Structures are given as structure tokens and as C-alpha cells.
Structure 1
Amino acid sequence: MTIGRGFALALLAAGLAPASVLVAQSAAPQSAFRWTGELSQGGLIRGQAPAGTVSLTLDGQDVPLTPEAAFLIGFDRDAGPQAELVATLSDGRQMRQSLSVAPRAWRIERLDRLPKYPVPDPEFQRLRPPELEQIRAARAETTDAQGWRQPLQWPVKGRISGLFGAQRLYRGEPGSYHSGTDIAAATGTIVRAPADGVVILAADQPFTLEGHLLMLDHGQGLNSAFLHLSRIDVRPGEHVRQGQPVGAVGATGRATGPHLHWSLQWRGRKLDPLLVTGPMG
């Protein structure tokens, strides 16, 4: 069964695809694994393990599994071409499924100069480590959120001004790539939860880079981060529903103008919000 062909074509037709998305094939009919989604770098799949599965691993790492053996898996921007799922059944048997992860052609800008990095001032060096620790601790939280089961919705609509995965090479040396999708919108534009979730971080005091930072856990290792907000309307531990207002667009932190930077991660793997969510309607 073909996964994501219609979405891939729509993405390309919209002129917004940062990469040539190769449409992958799902498990063969005789396989007991089933899934839907984009089996590609930056993609996300929702699946069902074989009946009787008591544990599941992806390349040797544990994958959260529901009582009905449903699972969620994300593929990092730099994921390799092959991965392997291993399901351990209640009788001790193991079932294996190879996954072919489609590559993406990322937008790369090559510059014949060295990057211009500002010299960090003492205040930045003092503030940044505890900010990073708060982000790390938030991503380590697990909640009972079930938003991972829902098709994600755009938190705000507007012109896409920055693509996930875009990167600059300075004299052949790679700089850091863009880890989210930027959406240009006026300051004060309402930001809505893309799926049900639990607030795991709400930085009322702006962070040095991210500004007012809001993070939501959607369950099964999937979380969202919203950067540069002008305000945050929810509090840590609060359960939010898909479409609920959670904040407003701004230009706090290191931002050149008002926009929302939305990033998605699954267990530390960085995902492409545009690929996962689909074209803006």
C-alpha cells in the first residue's frame, strides 16, 4: 500500500516543499506491521504492531507502545536510509520489519566565507545554560497526552518564511540547519494548539534566543515548541485541546520580525512540521 503519495504531490504542487519527497511503500501485505504516514527524513508514521506485541524497538531503542500495540515513530532530518522495527511477542518470539527511509533534497546555500558569529556577552553566557536545562528537562517529561493520535493542524496560518532543514555551508563547512518551520504573521495573531497536549514549558520570562517559549507534549514522545511569542496564555501542567488558543505571535528573543517558529520533535529526533501536517488549507 502506498503511503503519502497524494500528500507528496500536493506539497510539491503548492511550491512549498523544501525537498523532493520520495513516496515510500508500507509493509508488504503479509507483514503483521501496519502504518500510515511519511516514511522519509523528517517524517512521522503512526502504526500498529503485530497482535500480542509486548515491546517494540527501532534500531535497538525502545519505542513507546500502547496497550493495543499502537505506536508512533519519527525520523530525524538526517535519518539514514534503513531502519528496523523489532516486536517481541508475549510468547517470546520476535517479528522484524525493515523500513526504507526516503531521502530529502534539503535547501542548501553555499557561501564562500566564514560565518559571522557574535561574541557572546557575559549576560548571555550566564543565562543560556539554565535555559537549555529547562528545555532539556521539559523534553524529558512524559504525560498522558493523546494528541499524537490526531492529524496535526497548523497553529497559525500565514506565509511560510522559513523551511525546515534549510542549511548554509561556509566554505564547505556546514552550519546548523533550521530546526522548524517559520510562519510570518502579525504580532498578536492567535497561536492554537496543533493537537491535544500538556504544557511542559511556558517561559513567561523571555529566553535569550527563543523569547517567550511554549512547549506542548502530545504523548508517545511527540512534542511541539513555539518560539518568539508575544505572550503565553497557558501554564505548565495545563491540558489543552486541539485548536485551543495558547499564545500569540511575536518577535521576542532573537527574531528579525514577528513570526512563529514551530518545531516538532519525536524522542529527540527533529521532524518537518510542513511534511507532517500537510499544506496549509
Structure 2
Amino acid sequence: MINFVKIILIFSLMASPCNSLELYGKFAQGGLITGKVDKKIDLYVDNKKIKISDKGYFVFGIPRDQTNEIVIVTKKNKKEIKKLIKKIQIRKFKIQRIDGLPKRKVSPTAEDMKKIRSEGKLISKAKNINSNLNYFFDSFIRPAKGITTGVYGSQRILNGKPRRPHYGIDIAAPKGTSVLSSNSGRVILSERNLFFTGGTVIIDHGHGLISIYSHLEKTFVKKNQLVKKGEIIATVGSTGRSTGPHLDFRLYCNNVPVDPDLVISLN
């Protein structure tokens, strides 16, 4: 069991304090790392250049199945300054069986697949947005009151058939329960009836970090609308592939699904 504690790692890269690197988060499977660095520094994580804001803020996610150490390199004028190697905490994920789903929601028809592919393009576009918003560096809150009935990373077996892992947390609550924006940002998708996720809202928090709210009964926001952290954006429902009222809440960082519980626990 992971101890959900905020970890602050501050590494001195050079004698000058302006070249320090700050890292916040849990280096574990599904973790989200935010940080700050001198904006004149280039930052690479596993050889991938990380976007840095005009104030020096950045963010990156750790995949569910990451087992190798993460290599963090800072450079200035293309010259390496410092290399950090971080071990990843390996987690043991649950197996969750869900029965009683409509057959079409587990084994879609050919006609259903047309709708699914069309909707998949919308969601894929949202997952690949990389805006200059800086809300990602702010803390996240739990978006609804209720009992957690599904956790991140669990292997799903639907109507007896193995499916992909669950990449969010499920919060069970009565229909009509308020759903809050977990952080400030811009709405990039607001749909009432997607095949799998039903009523769905996606919010961009900047630098590739988005939040997804699914199975909603009602939605109160529109695409391109700016919302504040804690603002009511929808109500809990049981739309899409669902066996009862609940909110499926997910976070993606540059298309990497990260664990909302790990992120919220940093508060």
C-alpha cells in the first residue's frame, strides 16, 4: 500500500540558486510529477523534452506499467548540467469483476463500432491537447462526494470477459449529486451521450494535463468555457457503460493516464 504523502525533492544543479530543480509528487506507477526549474534550463525525462512554462513550471506523468528507472536530465545551451535517476515504486493492482452490463456495451455491434470510432477521435484529440495554461501546477480536489468503488489500475473483467485496466477512480453517489471541477481550466469537450462514457466533460489544465468526468446525468458547461476549481460542472448519473450511478474521474498527462488518488493526496 502506498503512503500518499507529498514528497518534495529539491536538487541543486549548480552553485547559483536560480538553477535549482524542484520536483513534487510520487515516483510510483501512475504518479504525476510537477516541478519548477529555471526557465533557461532544458529538461528531459527519459530522453523526451518537457515543456516548461514562462514561470518555469512543468509536469509529466508516470505510466501504470512503468518499471524502469526514470532518467531526468537538465541541460543549458545543449550542455548537460545534471542527471537524476529515480526508481519507480511498483504497485500491486487489483482485479475487478463487473457483471450485469448490457451485452452491447461489452461486445458492440458493427453499427456501434462506427459510433465508438467517431467518438474515439474526439476523445483522442482532447487527450493530445498541450496548451499554455498553468493550472496544472495548482492542487486538485476530489470532484464528488461518495464512496470509491473502483480504483486506478485495476484489471477489469466485464461480464466475464477480460478488458483493459481501469484508468480512473469510480465514486458512487446518488443521481443528481454535484460534480465539481477538480481544478481550474478550460472545457475542451462536453457531450451528453457517448457510447461508453455517457455524459462526458473534459477539462484542460495546461501542458497536456486534462481531467475527464464520465457517466454524467446533466452537464452545465460548454466547450471553451473557463471554469474555476470547485465549480459545479455536472451531476452524477448512470449513462453509457454503467451498472449504477457513479462518477468515473480520470486524469491524463500528455496521453498518459495517472492515478487521481495519488494526485489528490498531495493536498
CA 1:64–1:257: 2 relative to 1, 3 Å: same
User: Is 1:243 equivalent to 2:230 in the alignment?
Assistant: yes
Q: 1:102 aligns to what?
A: 89
Q: Distance in 2 between matches of 1:128 and 1:48?
A: 39
The one-letter code of the counterpart of 2:256 is: R
Q: Distance in 2 between matches of 1:174 and 1:119?
A: 12
Identity percentage of aligned residues: 28
- Pick the aligned partner of 2:206 from 219, 224, 232: 219
User: Is 1:209 equivalent to 2:196 in the alignment?
Assistant: yes
- Pick the aligned partner of 2:178 from 183, 190, 201: 190
- Pick the aligned partner of 2:110 from 116, 122, 126: 122
Q: Distance in 1 between matches of 2:9 and 2:232?
A: 38
**RMSD between superposed Cα atoms in Å:** 2.7
Q: 2:100 aligns to what?
A: none
Q: TM-score, normalised by structure 1?
A: 0.81
* Residues 6 and 265 in structure 2, CA contact (< 8 A), matched pair in contact too: no
What is the 5 A alignment of 1:4-15?
none
Q: Distance in 2 between matches of 1:99 and 1:218?
A: 26
User: Is 1:64 equivalent to 2:51 in the alignment?
Assistant: yes
User: Is 1:158 equivalent to 2:120 in the alignment?
Assistant: no
User: Is 1:229 equivalent to 2:190 in the alignment?
Assistant: no
Q: 1:41 aligns to what?
A: 29
Unaligned runs of 5+ in 1: 1-18, 111-115
Equivalent residue of 1:176, what SS? Answer: strand
User: Is 1:82 equivalent to 2:40 in the alignment?
Assistant: no
CA 1:64–1:94: 2 relative to 1, 3 Å: same
* Residues 24 and 100 in structure 1, CA contact (< 8 A), matched pair in contact too: no
- Pick the aligned partner of 1:272 from 259, 262, 267: 259
The one-letter code of the counterpart of 1:103 is: I
- Residues 20-79 of structure 1 show CA distances to partners (whole Å, capped at 9, x for unaligned) of 4598976575444221211111111221235730x2221111211012322112111111
Equivalent residue of 2:166, what SS? Answer: coil
The one-letter code of the counterpart of 1:120 is: P
Select the structure that is richer in strand: 2
- Pick the aligned partner of 1:263 from 241, 250, 255: 250
Q: TM-score, normalised by structure 2?
A: 0.85
Between 151-160 and 119-128, the greater mean CA deviation after superposition: 119-128
* Residues 145 and 173 in structure 2, CA contact (< 8 A), matched pair in contact too: yes
The one-letter code of the counterpart of 2:115 is: L
Q: Distance in 2 between matches of 1:25 and 1:242?
A: 23
Q: Distance in 1 between matches of 2:4 and 2:142?
A: 23
- Residues 1-20 of structure 1 show CA distances to partners (whole Å, capped at 9, x for unaligned) of xxxxxxxxxxxxxxxxxx44
CA 1:257–1:120: 2 relative to 1, 3 Å: same
The one-letter code of the counterpart of 2:47 is: G
Q: Distance in 2 between matches of 1:46 and 1:98?
A: 16
How far apart are residue 270 of structure 1 and its match? 1.0
Q: Distance in 2 between matches of 1:37 and 1:20?
A: 12
Equivalent residue of 1:191, what SS? Answer: strand
CA 1:250–1:215: 2 relative to 1, 3 Å: same
* Residues 199 and 240 in structure 1, CA contact (< 8 A), matched pair in contact too: yes
User: Is 1:73 equivalent to 2:75 in the alignment?
Assistant: no
The one-letter code of the counterpart of 1:260 is: L
Between 142-151 and 247-256, the greater mean CA deviation after superposition: 142-151
Unaligned runs of 5+ in 2: 14-19, 98-102
Q: Distance in 2 between matches of 1:28 and 1:219?
A: 23
Q: 1:167 aligns to what?
A: 155
Between 101-110 and 135-144, the greater mean CA deviation after superposition: 101-110
CA 1:203–1:84: 2 relative to 1, 3 Å: same
How far apart are residue 220 of structure 1 and its match? 1.5
